[in-house]
Chains A and B, each alone.
Chain A
Amino acid sequence: MTTRIERHHYDVVVIGAGGAGLRAAIEARLAGKKTAIISKSLFGKAHTVMAEGGAAAAMGNVNSRDNWMVHYRDTMRGGKFLNNFRMAELHAKEAPSRIWELETYGALFDRTKDGKISQRNFGGHEYPRLAHVGDRTGLELIRTLQQKIVSLQQEDKAATGSYDSRIRVFAETTITELLLDGDKVAGAFGYYRETGEFVLFEAPAVVLATGGVGRSYKVTSNSWEYTGDGHALALRAGATLINMEFLQFHPTGMVWPPSVKGILVTESVRGDGGVLKNSTGKRFMFEYVPDVFRKQYAETEEEADRWYTDPDNNRRPPELLPRDEVARAINNEVKEGRGSPSGGVFLDVSTRLPAEEIKKRLPSMHHQFKELAGVDITREPMEVGPTCHYVMGGVEVDPDTAAASGTVQGLFAAGEVSGGMHGSNRLGGNSLSDLLVFGKRAGEHASSYTDVLATRPRVSQADLDAAVATALAPLERNDGENPYTLQQDLQAVMGDLVGIIRRKGELEESLVRLAELRERVSKVSAAGGRRYNPGWHLALDLRNMLVVSECTAKAALEREESRGGHTREDFPAMRPEWRQVNLVCSLDGDKVRLEHKPLPRMRPELIKLFDRAELAKYLTDEELAEYDALAEEAAK
């Protein structure tokens, strides 16, 4: 093979330059490791910028009753108790420190009157908890981390004469394959998007922070980068994925004009007073409060409206139910013919807040609707509908170290690409704090993993040659299909057959159709050369999207219940026996293998944070009996 391959040696390679990736890289660099950050886009453009509402952390700045235990409870509740309890615990405990730390990097959050970080209400959070900057919190987060990395590079420049000596960003670079030495990670292979030249990073530890899988759906709030690269890389390296059936459809995406269909309308619109109405003008969410949430949500519009000013004595409006509930409700309203002209429902903030207040609290929403839809949200309602937003599932990791499970060693995952933290449904605001908490942990433990490694794993030439051949294949084929057509077909299969509401027959059909697509994708061809060729890039991404979609479809077919981000029309209820099960995907040759794995059991002191009546809705009878025994013991 005569292909030129640029080689780099690093201690820790972080794939993905969103919040989790940058936080991991900062930690690895602070631990003294030579660190590379691989970004599919330019530095600072990651999908994290799209996060609007805020970062959930129980700092108790606005309501001093808030603490990590309340946050933990909310997170478990939101995830319908399918969360990995240890991750939810670490997350709730460490989130405040991670937010405060950002201020030392230069972040400027909105403030309370006494000068602390302000916190806002959000769906599923009992107290105002989201540290925010207007409705552009994600941008603040990414910019802060980006600037922290620049500041570390400035220190390195002062010490060594080169900005890049200890931490370097490889912008517009895509990793197509992880290379192993036995079971140990030895490197990552990819290409520079700009030139099409190949590059090999030899490194004993790799942190995956590649985000989600939303591009497999047509209506999505996700950017083109969300092709499930990290999920697929992990699978191919021998790691396992869990909870892949759980996809969060954000209840409020734009529905008109068609070209922006799916773009996010932040939940803060509802947190700040926005209400959902159907075509008859009715606030329909009151009819969709499920039993498990009945106690926490208002029953009348009057009570709901009072909550905005007096949250201690009133219950929350049902518009602020967890995202899965709201998405299903909207879906149902539209299906029963009470939707808006463009197939959504109305989200109205114009009659709820003065125009100036709207512009101040929701500047980017105001801007977005004005520029993209010609709608002035201070005067008229928005039209919104569900959009594919977040994948709860992902790489199965050790909660404390973020190390990937399965056979592989030296692989870590943090942020959306990892699974378990959010259970079956993520609460808004928990992803920004998730990526800080576990980004840090991944960077830290990737670094200490390299410390104890006796010998540096080596990349084998044969693996490298195979990776090169796979990457070049679409360019060398002339008679294959156009990658864009294939992506559209994949999106059609996933959107139509593995969407919000799922049925057995359709899921079975989706697996047949995905198998056909797999054939076609293996013969995809890309016209043009290697220099910045988006067709070629997509052709390579398709392979990842396909295998991840298969995991989702298979797991969705297997889980015979409805829970969080997984709704089966044929099994509409939650079933306690399924709560004890994680569905784990791994790769067997090129086939997806699905296994049941018991969920880790909550520690006694954690389970005692919940009252029995609530647990009764989720747990099996045996588990409840154990809980009772615990309670009895404590009473003695």
Chain B
Amino acid sequence: MGAKRRFKIWRGDQAGGDLKDYDVEVNDGEVVLDVIHRLQATQTPDLACRWNCKAGKCGSCSMEINGTPRLGCMTRMSTFAEDETVTVTPLRAFPVVRDLVTDVSFNYDKARQTPAFAPPADLAPGEYRMQQVDVERSQEFRKCIECFLCQNTCHVVRDHEENKKAFAGPRYFIRAAELDMHPLDAQEDRKEFAQASMGMGYCNITKCCTEVCPEHIKITDNAIIPMKERVVDRRYDPLVWLGRKIFRRDQLDGAGQVPATALVGARTEGSEVAQHHGLNWHREIPQPQAAPVDETGRLPISEITADRPGGPSPFGDDQTFPLPPEGLNYAHPSGTEQG
């Protein structure tokens, strides 16, 4: 028979809730999820908690244990001091459904916005040939059990609901990286898409996601940083630069380019908010855009080498004027509140 231990568990729903105290028996070798099951069986049968495999393979029992995002089934009670109170709360980045269960549909929406694997057109099933070393890089990311702990811990969205529209999160950066590194994936612009439409630019590489990953995937080092580097590579690649100069825009690989739908969507919705409440100080700040500099880091000197009449804009190639009103920190004095 085990000793009694003190637990604090968040109980409630969208309307609000509170930490409730429970004293519960804990036996040798148990994990936090076992304790929650004991509570369900003995004290509070309606305590809501997701779980499936109980072996760290399905990624269902994600929760925050003493403030750290963890899997309940992989957190052994022996990691706490004998007299330590264990506090269990739902994932903070997602809306609560009830008790420890949160609405994780954000992640499934982002999954749908990530372009799927594009099979090579010239290979029939059974004809795929790949080397083990080549598949291993993608396989690391396919270990992901979709526990969404990385999504939950990422500070870009953890306390910034407003960033969720434009930011896909670490889970989907590794998905993009996985497909980018797939030896036979036919789509070419994974990195550009990640930068333009998945909000990878928001990530400033604090590695919080890597720290909480129960599968020990090196999310930042092996996926995000290489993706970012290669986006930069491309932008400053002399050949690509030359191509930009000598070809017309419609001859460039624009067909493969994906429109920044996520960002566009975010801005339109942001503008609605702004209209209703005057100036929205929490609006989406447009991501900084690099000026079209050459390899010396300077703008082209003359109009002849520039790709547009009148010379390039120092504000970046893809900026249009006048700036869209929702991109300005300015509220018209006439106010939209009355109207």
Contact = CB atoms under 8 A, between A and B. Distances in A.
Interface string B223-254: 00000000000000000000000000000000
B51 A224 contact: yes
A45 B45 contact: no
B60 A371 contact: no
Contacts of B58: 41, 45, 49-50, 223
Nearest to A134: B139
B52 A111 contact: no
Contact of B146 (A44, A59, A134, A372): A44
Nearest to A136: B143
Interface in A254-273: 256-260, 263-264
A115 B48 contact: no
Given A43-B108, A45-B52, A49-B57, 6 more contacts: A104-B128, A140-B142, A372-B55, A483-B45, A526-B45, A532-B101
Contact of B45 (A42, A43, A534): A534
Contacts of A45: 52, 58-60, 146
Interface stretch (A5-13, A70-78, A148-156, A608-616): A148-156
A529 B46 contact: yes
Interface of B: 13, 27-31, 34, 40-42, 45-60, 74, 76, 78, 97-99, 101, 103-104, 108, 111-112, 115-117, 119, 125-126, 128-132, 135, 138-139, 142-146, 179, 182, 185
Nearest to A487: B41
8 tightest Cβ-Cβ pairs between the two chains A and B = A257-B29, A528-B46, A151-B116, A106-B117, A535-B45, A115-B129, A100-B125, A484-B41
Given A41-B60, A154-B112, A534-B47, A143 B135 contact: no
Contacts of A225: 52
Nearest to A222: B53
A108 interface: yes
A50 B125 contact: no
Interface string A479-494: 0001111001000000
Contact of A153 (B103, B112, B130, B142): B112
B111 A42 contact: no
B237 to A, nearest CB: 28
Contacts of A483: 45
A18 to B, nearest CB: 11
A279 interface: no
A49 B115 CA distance: 23
A154 B132 CA distance: 30
Contact of B50 (A42, A139, A373, A533): A42
A260 B129 contact: no
Given A259-B34, A373-B29, A528-B46, A150 B112 contact: yes
A102 to B, nearest CB: 9
Nearest to A97: B125
A111 B54 contact: no
Residue from B48, B53, B78 having most chain A Cβ neighbours under 10 A: B53
Contact of B29 (A108, A116, A260): A260
A147 interface: yes
B99 to A, nearest CB: 7
A508 interface: no
Interface of A: 41-45, 47, 49-50, 59, 96-97, 100-101, 103-106, 108-111, 114-116, 118, 133-134, 136, 139-140, 143, 147-148, 150-151, 153-154, 157, 163, 171, 194, 223-225, 256-260, 263-264, 364, 367-368, 371-374, 482-485, 488, 526-529, 531-536
A136 B52 contact: no
A258 B41 contact: no
A163 B45 contact: no
Contacts of A103: 125-126, 128
Nearest to A254: B55
A533 B56 contact: no
Contact of A223 (B29, B46, B54, B126): B54
Contact of B116 (A106, A263, A488, A532): A106
A108 B76 contact: no
B52 A532 contact: no
B314 to A, nearest CB: 37
20 contacts: A42-B50, A45-B52, A97-B125, A97-B126, A104-B128, A108-B182, A111-B132, A133-B139, A139-B142, A153-B112, A259-B30, A484-B42, A484-B45, A526-B46, A531-B48, A531-B97, A531-B98, A532-B101, A533-B48, A534-B45
B29 A256 contact: yes
A111 B131 contact: yes
A136 B57 contact: yes
Given A257-B29, A482-B45, A371 B145 contact: no
Contacts of A532: 48, 97-99, 101
Residue from A100, A105, A532 having most chain B Cβ neighbours under 10 A: A532
Given A103-B128, A110-B132, A367-B56, A42 B116 contact: no
A154 B48 contact: no
Contacts of A531: 13, 48, 97-98
Contacts of B103: 194
B45 to A, nearest CB: 3
A133 B142 contact: yes
Nearest to B184: A103
Given A106-B182, A108-B139, A371 B56 contact: yes
A114 B182 CA distance: 17
B54 A263 contact: yes
Contact of B27 (A115, A148, A258): A258
A1 to B, nearest CB: 24
Contact of A154 (B59, B116, B130, B135): B116
Given A42-B104, A136-B143, A225-B52, A163 B112 contact: yes
Nearest to A257: B29
B49 A47 contact: no
A372 to B, nearest CB: 7
